[in-house]
Structure 1
Amino acid sequence: MKRFMLVHYGFEKPTPEIMAKWKAWFEAVGSYTVENIGLRAGREITRDGARDLPMGPDSITGCTVITAESMDAAEALARQNPFISSIRVYEIAAH
């Protein structure tokens, strides 16, 4: 099995309906899940300084590491996710 990182984008204030959808998705992919990581406050650091990153539609709000046979299989799991703005799938390079 290969490992993939699903990067979750977008934030909106959670409602009970949104939370129920996320809970259902986490349960549905539980057997494929290696780790779930939620993100909150962020800061971007550049050569010009630093700035706080507000939570909004463009925010990275977390990631889920899963196992799957292929990118297509990982995408199929990601498509079931109740993402807010988008979800990106990356294969994790083996070392």
Structure 2
Amino acid sequence: MTQFIISYLGGDKPASAEEGKRHFAQYQQWLASLGGAVITAMVPYKNSHSVSSDGVSAGSQVDMTGHTIVQAESIEQAIEMAKSCPFLAINGRLNIAEMVVI
């Protein structure tokens, strides 16, 4: 099977600790529903820096906030998995890409 990376883009932060716990529980349920397709669960990002020929700047210049890696038979199947991700409920966007191993 092919591996796909689901990148989390943007998304609202929880308004309270309780809201964060509820959202985390939804993530756990989503990941459990994917079963053995999950290669790397969720990897949130923090303390990002951008490096360019102009130098380094703190804070990401893109709004990628984390990723999950899944395996699927096709990009269409990976997209179907992503459609039920709870990140979409907090105004996040998902980018799904096939991972090419060289």
Identify, as 1 or 2, the structure richer in helix. Answer: 2
- Determine whether 1:47 maps to 2:42: no
Could you say which residue in structure 1 is the equivalent of 2:97? 90
Q: Percent identity?
A: 24
Distance 2:35 2:67 in 1: 14
- The answer for unaligned runs of 5 or more in structure 1 is none
Deviations 1:8-66 (A, max 9, x none): 11243332332222121121123101113221110011111211116xxx621111111
| TM-score, normalising length: structure 1 | 0.83
Matched residue, 1:12: 12
Q: How many residues align?
A: 92
- Structure 2 unaligned runs (5+)? none
2:72 aligned with 1:68: yes
RMSD of equivalent CA atoms: 1.7
The residue number in structure 1 matching 2:44 is 38
Q: TM-score, normalised by structure 2?
A: 0.78
Structure 1's consecutive aligned runs of 4 or more residues displaced over 6 angstroms after TM superposition are none
